Amino acid sequence: MRDTLVPGIEHELRFTVPATKTVPHLYPESEEFAGMPEVFATGFMVGFVEWACIRAIAPHLDPGEVSLGVHVDLSHDAATPPGMEVVARVRLEAVEGRALTFSVEADDARERICAGTHRRFVVDRDRFDAGVARKAG
C-alpha cells in the first residue's frame, strides 16, 4: 500500500442497470428468484458498491495488491428498474493497517437506494491465491 492511501479518498461510479442485473438473474437456477420483480438486485447492488470502492483505492495500491470485501452493512431502500442509471458515492473513512472502512451511498435518477458502510482488506494477490489453492486441496 502506498502512503497516499489515507482517509478522505472519494470516488463516484455511474452505471446503467441492465436487465441482467435484476433479481431474476441473481441465481437463474432458482425458481424463487426467477419469479421476483425485475429490479436492481440487492446482490448486484452490493457488487456495484464494492466496484466503486475498488476503483477509489486502485491508484493507491502497490503492484500485486488487491482489496477484498470483508463486511457490508448496507440498506437497500428503493427499487430501481432496468434502464435507469445508478450512482455510487464512496468515501474512505478509516485505514487501520490493511483494513479499510468506507461510507457509501447510492442513488438512482429519482431517490436514494442505498446507504451504509463497507470494509475491505488489502492483500497480496499471490499469497491469497496460494492460500485458496491450499484450501481447495
Q: Catalytic site residue 60?
A: no
Determine what percent of the chain is predicted with pLDDT higher than 90: 99
**pLDDT tens-digit readout, 55-77:** 999 999 999 999 999 999 999 99
pTM score: 0.95
Ranges of each domain in the chain: 10-136
Topology given in CATH for the domain delimited by 10-136: Thiol Ester Dehydrase; Chain A (3.10.129)
Q: What 3-state DSSP class applies to 9?
A: coil
Out of 22, 25, 50, 118, the active site residue is 50
Active-site residue (options: 76, 80, 105, 118)? 76
What is the average pLDDT value for the chain, to the nearest integer?
A: 97
Residues 45, 13 contacting (CB under 8 angstroms): no
What pLDDT sits at residue 56?
98
Candidate list 42, 93, 101, 117, residue with the active-site label = 42
Q: For 92-134, write each residue's pLDDT tens digit.
A: 999 999 999 999 999 999 999 999 999 999 999 999 999 999 9
Residue 136: pLDDT band with limits 50, 70, 90: very high
pLDDT for the residue numbered 109:
96
Distances (CA, A) of 85 to 28, 48, 49: 23, 12, 14
Question: Is 50 known to be catalytic?
Answer: yes
As a whole number of angstroms, the distance between CA 69 and CA 54 comes to: 9
* 42 a catalytic residue: yes
| pLDDT the model gives residue 130 | 95
Task: Tell me how far CA of residue 101 lies from CA of 64, 94, 114, in angstroms.
Answer: 21, 5, 16
Q: Is 71 helix (H, G, I), strand (E, B) or coil?
A: strand
Residue 10 grid coordinates:
472519494
